[in-house]
Chain A
Amino acid sequence: MTIHITGSGIDFSGQQTNNASMTSEVLDQYEEGTWSPTYTTTGVNTTVTYSVQQGWYVRTGQHLKCWWNIQTNDVNPWNGTYIQMGGLPFAAINNRIAGYVTQAYDFGDDTPIFAINAATTRFYLTYRDAADGRTEVLRSNDMANGSAKNTCEGFLDLQIAS
């Protein structure tokens, strides 16, 4: 193992068996901090204010892990078709993300459980439809109005640019 003090990272090439699909053996980035999650829609503009809007991240190389905690306040109204969560601290470079909602309420019977399909700084939330068991994308009409609504906490993993 070689540690480059100048900032180019930790080089593991001397101690690991090469894998044919390997693309790098240098850990060249580490960072942790906060970000501000948002709800957006894929329809006409919706103005959203928040009573809770917290996010934390850890970046390790091209791997980004994010946690979020969000709750809306006085949304008027929810427009458009699908709900997205936005504001990621780094842009995803592909759609291969894995995300889970750990707590959510005020979504009626369509409580989100997964995060899917990142596009740069946004991703969709999905739920399992009670009627047919299919996975559906959270829509604007699943959201609630009023203070202290649409509480959602979760985390996701995604790939970002090196």
Chain B
Amino acid sequence: MGLEKTIEYDKIEIIGKYKEVHCRKAIIVEEDGVELSRTFHRYTLIPSSCLKNEDGSYTHTDTDISGEPEEIQAICKTVWTDDVKSAWQSYEESYTNVVG
């Protein structure tokens, strides 16, 4: 069999009132079924991104989760309700205003 590399999303956590989805991707290397190494890569998904326009208005764009595993997509769609998205967008605008 030799070496085999597999990827496993071994932690998917929903954190905070804005329901950020924390994802841990485990990269596992095995030799003949025996695990040789396991390393982690982390990223966090948020409901949307906020862009401040030149006229001072804001444009909110939903986070593109189409490239995520189906399990993660399903979680995002469940927890990112309209209320959560609205609260997140308000927070994003307040944050953007901190320096601008």
**If the complex has contacts A80-B51, A120-B46, A137-B99, are A34 and B22 also in contact, measured as CB distance less than 8 A?**
no
* Contact with A42, one of B16, B44, B100 (Cβ below 8 angstroms): B100
How far is the CB of B78 from the nearest CB of chain A, in Å? 18
A-B contact count (CB 8 A): 76
Residue A141 at the chain B interface, CB threshold 8 Å? no
Q: Which of chain B's residues have a CB closer than 8 A to the CB of A35?
A: 41-43
Instruction: Indicate the size class of the contact surface on chain A.
Output: 20 to 34
* Contact with B52, one of A31, A32, A81, A137 (Cβ below 8 angstroms): A81
How far is the CB of B28 from the nearest CB of chain A, in Å? 13
Stretch at the interface among A5-13, A88-96, A103-111, A144-152: A88-96
Residue B6 at the chain A interface, CB threshold 8 Å? no
* Contact with A90, one of B39, B44, B51, B91 (Cβ below 8 angstroms): B44
Residue B49 at the chain A interface, CB threshold 8 Å? yes
Are A121 and B53 within 8 A (Cβ)? no
Residue A40 at the chain B interface, CB threshold 8 Å? yes
Are B51 and A45 within 8 A (Cβ)? yes
User: Given the complex of chains A and B, what is the CA–CA distance between A40 and B50 in angstroms?
Assistant: 10
